[in-house]
Amino acid sequence: QVQLVESGGELVQAGGSLRLSCAASGRTFSSYTMGWFRQAPGKEREFCATITWSTGSTYYADSVKGRFTISRDNAKNTVYLQMNFLKREDTAVYYCAARRYSGTYVSPRGYDYWGQGTQVTVSS
């Protein structure tokens, strides 16, 4: 049973930083792609970043490129999302997701497992 558990979301001022964590368990994730998505109230779930576990290859949405960094720690089976220069429009529930195949994929429909989400609120 794959489990993804996010943590690290909180209230932060605009311009600040946060690091989200996603602890993954239940599988060997070396052939997986991991993604971070977010969903604001009344909006669709939006792609933020993805990382191919085996190669470390990353890809970002234009809205977060240059501000967010996705990374993984093989020893801890954990994926991170470092978020810098946060803006009010970054306010959302952030979800970690796992896809059973390697390679960049940005649609949430392509991911097989999801965490419960962690709230990030950016105040002005």
Region of 15 on the Ramachandran plot (φ > 0 left; ψ -120 to 50 alpha; else beta): left
Closest CA to 49 of 63, 59, 38, 39: 59
Closest CA to 45 of 8, 95, 102, 89: 95
Following DSSP, what letter does each residue of 50-64 receive, concatenated? EEETTT--EEE-TTT
124 residues of the chain, pLDDT tens digit each:
899 999 999 999 999 999 999 999 998 888 999 999 999 999 999 999 999 999 999 999 999 999 999 999 989 999 999 999 999 999 999 999 999 999 899 999 999 999 999 999 999 8
